[in-house]
Amino acid sequence: MPDDPMTDEPMADEPMPDEPRPVSHVPVLADEVVAMLAPVAGSQHVDATLGGGGHAERILEASDPDGRLLGLDADEAAIARVRSRLAPRFGARLRLRQANFRELATVAPEEGFADIDGCLFDLGLSSFQLADEARGFGIRTGGPLDMRFDTSRGLPAAELLASLDADELTALLRRYGEEPFAGRIARAIVQARRTAPIRTAEELATLIARVAPSRAPGRRRIHPATRTFQALRIAVNEELEALQTGLAAAVDLLRPGGRLVVLSYHSLEDRIVKRFLQAERRGCICPPEAPVCVCGRQPRLRLLTPKGLVATPAEITANPRARSARLRAAERLAA
């Protein structure tokens, strides 16, 4: 099968300089997500990234009258928002829990979701988080540089920026932001913090705009701080590590015929999802030079979207956040 193109948009969920600040979160590829998860009456689903609850609401509607859904989010504000919006309508059919999806293997069975029909991951951050001036996620929104999904754990982005040396910062910006001007930006950060710590999103964005051009060779025009913001957010939340663990846990929870659906927004995420699904489709993880299989692993997934799905131009016009979304879905095979 030919390799499909990776999503090449950086920080799709960051606002572009000419975009207004979002005030609500419109679920991306919602019809396609529901079609792939195929909820029916009585089914049990996990939404591992509840956000504003848009996808969760659609899944509950499609599994009327008694389908159940467990919604997780690392952000307690997301849980509180969805509880007040959807709990009155769906009652006991909706369970909510503040948790990182890297804990899915224990959290889901604890909540009575040990054998499920589907699991959704809609990665990254929500429009609510982006618009929150206390969190520092957005270049345009500004605010103190925190960037944690769960503000009760881990180091805020400002502390990470203050503690890494120039080489470590360069490596972080390359690894998680694929930033072509990583060294230049890292040196500027280290230089600037000798005078005063970098505490806010505005300070960081202004500093980067002074040293990095807004268009890297061959890439489209974005705010020059876009990749740095992406890199910091990924590092602060250990997003890529959580994704690996969460995906593996989700497959373990799926019953035969159950569906896994993942929406990713940049190439780092999509690469992990794609490789994970391919490995589970193949089963065997022996090196190609091994004459016979010694790992004994069997295929566990059938791919439903070999090349992934993307949003239509009409959806992108209505919801710019859909611009670089890629949906990948797979079905659990019988053991």
Q: How many CB atoms lie within 10 A of CB 19?
A: 11
Describe the chain by its helix, strand, coil percentages, rounded to 5: 45, 15, 40
3-state secondary structure of 152: coil
User: How far is residue 39 from each of residues 45, 49, 247, measured CA to CA in Å?
Assistant: 8, 17, 20
Q: Is 75 in the site for ligand SAM (CB under 6 A)?
A: yes
Return the range that interacts with ligand SAM (CB under 6 A); candidates 16-24, 53-61, 157-165, 298-306: 53-61
3-state secondary structure of 298: coil
Q: Is 264 in the site for ligand SAM (CB under 6 A)?
A: no
Looking at residues 118 to 137 of the shown chain, list those that interact with ligand SAM (rule: CB under 6 A).
Answer: 122, 124-126
Cα–Cα distance between 116 and 72 in angstroms, integer? 15
Return the range that interacts with ligand SAM (CB under 6 A); candidates 46-54, 165-173, 224-232, 267-275: 46-54
Q: Is 74 in the site for ligand SAM (CB under 6 A)?
A: yes
The token pair at 161 is: 């920026």
The least CB distance from residue 41 to ligand SAM, in Å, is 22
270 in Cβ contact with 326 (< 8 Å): yes
Give the residue with the Cβ less far from ligand SAM, 30 or 201. Answer: 30
Q: Is 100 in the site for ligand SAM (CB under 6 A)?
A: yes
Question: Which residues fall within 8 angstroms of residue 159, CB to CB, at 6 or more apart?
Answer: none
159-165 long-range contacts (CB < 8 A, ≥24 apart) are 160/232, 160/235, 160/236, 161/189, 161/193, 161/198, 161/204, 161/232, 162/193, 162/197, 162/198, 165/190
Give the residue with the Cβ less far from ligand SAM, 96 or 205. Answer: 96
Position of minimal CB gap to ligand SAM: 51
Q: Which of 54, 156, 258, 308 binds ligand SAM (CB under 6 A)?
A: 54
The least CB distance from residue 55 to ligand SAM, in Å, is 4
Q: Is 55 in the site for ligand SAM (CB under 6 A)?
A: yes
Q: Which of 53, 67, 177, 224 binds ligand SAM (CB under 6 A)?
A: 53
Nearest residue to 162 (alpha-carbon basis) of 129, 205, 195: 195
Return the range that interacts with ligand SAM (CB under 6 A); candidates 100-108, 138-146, 182-190, 206-214: 100-108
Return the range that interacts with ligand SAM (CB under 6 A); candidates 47-55, 166-174, 224-232, 276-284: 47-55
Phi, psi at residue 260, to the nearest 5°?
Answer: -115, 130
Give the residue with the Cβ less far from ligand SAM, 102 or 223. Answer: 102
Q: Is 72 in the site for ligand SAM (CB under 6 A)?
A: yes
User: How far is residue 110 from each of residues 105, 240, 253, 269, measured CA to CA in Å?
Assistant: 9, 24, 12, 28
Chain positions contacting ligand SAM, by CB under 6 A: 25, 27, 49, 51-55, 72-75, 78, 100-102, 122, 124-126, 149, 242
